[in-house]
Amino acid sequence: MAKKKENGSNGTADHSLPAGYRRVVSISDAPWFHLEEGNVMRGKVNNRFIMNTEPKRAYYQVELLGLREGAGPTKVRQGRGDDAEVVEAASGDVINLGESYKAQVLKDQVIPGILAGGEYEIYVVVGAKVKAKGGRTLWDLDIGVKETKAPTRPLQALPADEAGAGDEGGEEAAF
């Protein structure tokens, strides 16, 4: 059984794996990265997962690392729907990042490297909402990727899946 963090800001269980292991199943109680202008996240990408919903949606689980000097705390949504509350996450927490239109780049550029033994950090900054087709608005995300460990095996293309871009629970999507 996972033990609770003593000083974790969002009360999630400590889901640490020993060194050398890569997470292959999702953490079901992980909070979601909060889409709000100016929110920032820096973390190590653990893996990509597909929700068992209709339509299928993908998301990434990211272990938070410390932010650069002067950046505010990373805000996350803990809970579901109207019961969710926005809290500050701590370094070491694992959080979910919905696979939006812009975050799909991680599927093609990061996940094949992870599956080949590489490690990657991402830095995400939420920009302002932008207008999209059909009168919708989307959050503009600026996403940077840094390889911290080179893949040790040849990269292979990922099989196609039927996950659509979006965010959990009918939230507004990120662009």
> pLDDT tens digits for 36-91?
999 999 999 999 988 888 888 899 999 999 877 777 899 999 988 888 999 999 99
Mean of pLDDT values over 86-108: 91
Listed in sequence order, the residues at least 6 apart from 115 whose beta carbon sits closer than 8 Å to its beta carbon are 156, 158
The C-alpha atoms of residue 110 and residue 175 are separated, in whole angstroms, by 18
Higher-confidence position of 155 and 122 = 122
Query: What confidence score (pLDDT) does residue 26 get?
Result: 59
Structure token digits, residue 163: 């996950």
Task: Say what the pTM is.
Answer: 0.76
